[in-house]
A and B are shown apart, each in its own frame.
Chain A
Amino acid sequence: MGSTASRADARKRLRFHWSLSQAGNQFRRASQTEQMSGIPPVSAQLELCRSADDYEIDSLLMAIGFARPDPTVLAAALGRKTQRVKFMVACRPGLISPTSFVQQINTLSLLLEGRVHVNIVGGHTPRELHYYGDWLPREERYARLDEFLTVCRAFWAEERGEVNFSGTYFQVEGGRLKTPFSIGGRHGPEIYLGGNSEESAALAIRHADCLWRFAEPPERLAPAIAPVVRSGTEVGLLVSLIGRSTRDKAIQAARDLVERLGDSAQQAQLNFERHTDASAFRSTFALARSCDTGWATATLWTGAVPFLGPPAIALVGAAHEIADTLLEYRAIGVTQFLFTGWPDDEEMAFFGERIAPLVRERERVEAHAWRIRP
């Protein structure tokens, strides 16, 4: 199925997601996590949700962490006030029984007409996992994740039989839930899973619909994701956007951003880097250090990573340059993107009005070309 799958993927319509967690905050991630208030800025978040409803945003990522509100509960409140956009709810397997997690997600999905994806994360900082009573060493977190998703997917299977599972970390006997994921629609959510390690790729191939990776230059990314793309699991990129009407203006905006942030932001990231054990975070910090100029490619900018962390690796440029870059990634098999911006609302509007139309036009032309090919 290898080449057929990749040819099909090359024609797949790109899907775009946006991170919701810092809506309304101009300086997202610029402060120590410790200083975040944890109170959701609901009106700013609702505005971003409604913009996402209007533009071509498939879903909003609801991140998880001790300094943030709970993503499942927050999605329940925001989701009822939106029409179309989906909510990508993050989950850490060590904190909740898989049965309970499925029950919460299914309830949420029924109340939001199926507008729910899940994003499974292993946790990136042991210190933080201890706040929750999770002491599993990193090597075992993958094995537990594997069991967790095996149980969840059994509950989400088309044939809704009794779930029985006996593993090292989870034992479920006679498992049944009466609340389905949807009525007449999907049997379970689309499952996203993040990570740069081989273990993450293997887990994604086994369980997920899409593997999230941090952005890196296409030629570096291509070999790393090739096995995932071949398996039929999609690959998505986490990347920030700084798009402006011209390349010069975009570069200026990027420079201004770094200037505004100053030393305290950098200190926050050095502090974070010391405590993280996630390879995705570590490798993006390393990529940023290896780019003296701050540019990994003509459009991929690492200049904000030392200040704002790995999620701040950014595509910077004019609308057509960013659209071209997105399509270059598509050529190596990337089919989904998760964006953030500074601030999110303006960047989402620029994306929705200037970048997305270019991408869609190119997709139409190419789809036509595929159809007329003998």
Chain B
Amino acid sequence: MTAPLRFHWRLIQGGDMTEKIAHDRVASEAAVPEIATQMAFCREAEQLGIDSVLVDIGVGKPDPMVLAMVLATATDRLKFMVAHRPGLMSPTLFVQQVNTFSTLAPGRITLNFVAGHSQAEQLNYGDNLPHDERYERLREYLTICRRLWAGETTVDFAGRHYRIEAGRVRTPFIAPDRQAPEVYLGGGSRSAREVASELTDCWLRFGDTVENVARESAPVLDNGSEVGLRIACITRSTRFEAVNVARALLEPCELRRRESEAAFVKGSDSESIRHVYELGESEWLGGSLWAGAVRALGATSIALVGTPNDVADGILGFRQAGVSQFILHGWPKWEEMRIFCREVLPLLKSSH
């Protein structure tokens, strides 16, 4: 199992692209796409060799499918990893949207499925399924999507959550090398892992100790799916400088942030968000792996912090544990992508 290493970056959203600090979870979330800046960011990501940008989903954000389509018209090769939650639309309609995207930007849409991390947010969308049933529904949803992409003339499906008769969409999925889009599934629970290895190309998880990642990835890899890590990085020329940047993230209003994050975790029914919150007990999880911001900024703030060599070593450590894809972000959000691609990527290439 030696899938090549691939690097993705989280799309910058809203007014946070140049700032050195992270924002509060709720107050910061961008409501209005700053499209000119995002287009420039995507063009640079493309030049730097980023495989795809992740376009998140949530009530506080613009719709990722529509935003990604517009960003695709401003770029040539970059892919868009569009986040999606089942329960919001018919799987047939979703396949129709994905396929339409692919006819307009062939091979440039991939999908990041998430089951949803909070009951309250799901209720915004009129979705009141409890956590475990969301995975059962996700399984049905993915099954229908995959069969539509597999080119079956018509799809009949009768499950607990969906009943489709003679389902079809005329618009095909277009890509130079694939019949269906690459599908990622994020989530730390056992259910997420099982559905990911059964029905998707890659299981995505938050950062954790290398040992935990290795242990939990093994069954997924055995099943033939890849494992991807959503993790931050803070790369500077010296370790001292990088650690200072990391610690400075916490300075403004740390107490208020800690309270707001604790409230968020309490309202979440995601196992992995709770698990990572526990990890935040210690500042360092081994080597350059930093969990110092987890209790204030959330699970995605677990970071590789240090020199280009430190960060490259961290990446290769996870590589040993079976991880082949990384969805990265950092601070300042745009600048860190530049630093990573210029300083860290060449080290990884030479160590292959």
Show the binding face of A for B, using Cβ within 8 Å: 36-40, 42, 66-70, 72-74, 76-77, 80-81, 94-100, 103-104, 106-108, 110-111, 127, 130-135, 151, 170-180, 183
Any A CB within 8 A of the CB of B59: yes
Q: Can you list 25 A-B contacts with CB-CB less than 8 angstroms, sorted by A residue number? A: A39-B174, A66-B168, A77-B104, A94-B90, A97-B88, A97-B126, A97-B127, A99-B126, A100-B88, A104-B63, A104-B65, A107-B66, A108-B63, A111-B67, A130-B167, A131-B154, A131-B166, A132-B90, A151-B126, A172-B123, A172-B124, A174-B120, A177-B124, A178-B30, A180-B32
Q: Is the CB of A70 within 8 A of B66?
A: no
In the complex, residue of chain A having the shortest beta-carbon distance to the beta carbon of B91 = A133
From the candidates A40, A66, A97, name the one contacting B125 in the complex (CB within 8 A).
A97
Given A99-B124, A99-B126, A111-B35, A179:B61 Cβ within 8 A: yes
- Chain B positions within 8 Å of A151 at CB level: 126
Given A73-B104, A76-B70, A178:B168 Cβ within 8 A: no
- Chain A positions within 8 Å of B69 at CB level: 73, 76-77
- Chain A positions within 8 Å of B126 at CB level: 97-99, 151, 170-172
In the complex, residue of chain A having the shortest beta-carbon distance to the beta carbon of B72 = A77
Given A70-B171, A73-B97, A73-B101, A130:B166 Cβ within 8 A: yes
Q: Is the CB of B31 within 8 A of A180?
A: yes
Complex Cα gap A66–B126 (Å): 25
From the candidates A37, A132, A180, name the one contacting B164 in the complex (CB within 8 A).
A132
Q: How many residues of B contact A (CB 8 A)?
A: 53
Given A73-B101, A100-B89, A133-B92, A175:B124 Cβ within 8 A: yes
Complex Cα gap A131–B96 (Å): 11
- Chain A positions within 8 Å of B128 at CB level: 171, 173
Show the binding face of B for A, using Cβ within 8 Å: 29-33, 35, 59-63, 65-67, 69-70, 72-73, 87-93, 96-97, 99-101, 103-105, 120, 123-128, 154, 162-172, 174
Complex Cα gap A258–B170 (Å): 27
In the complex, residue of chain A having the shortest beta-carbon distance to the beta carbon of B30 = A178
Q: Which 7 interchain pairs have the tightest Cβ spacing?
A: A38-B170, A178-B31, A38-B171, A173-B123, A130-B165, A107-B63, A76-B69
Given A95-B89, A171-B128, A174-B124, A111:B70 Cβ within 8 A: yes
Whole-angstrom distance between the Cβ of B35 and the nearest chain A Cβ: 6
Q: Is the CB of A70 within 8 A of B96?
A: yes
Q: Is the CB of B125 within 8 A of A100?
A: yes
- Chain A positions within 8 Å of B89 at CB level: 95-97, 100
Given A66-B96, A80-B73, A183-B32, A72:B170 Cβ within 8 A: no
Complex Cα gap A180–B59 (Å): 11
Whole-angstrom distance between the Cβ of B160 and the nearest chain A Cβ: 12
Q: Is the CB of A133 within 8 A of B90?
A: yes
- Chain A positions within 8 Å of B72 at CB level: 77
Q: Is the CB of A95 within 8 A of B67?
A: no
Whole-angstrom distance between the Cβ of A178 and the nearest chain B Cβ: 3
- Known: A74-B100, A133-B167; 7 extra A-B contacts, CB below 8 A, are A38-B170, A70-B99, A73-B104, A95-B90, A108-B63, A110-B32, A179-B32
Q: Is the CB of B66 within 8 A of A132?
A: no
- Chain B positions within 8 Å of A42 at CB level: 104
Q: Is the CB of B171 within 8 A of A133?
A: no
In the complex, residue of chain B having the shortest beta-carbon distance to the beta carbon of A91 = B93
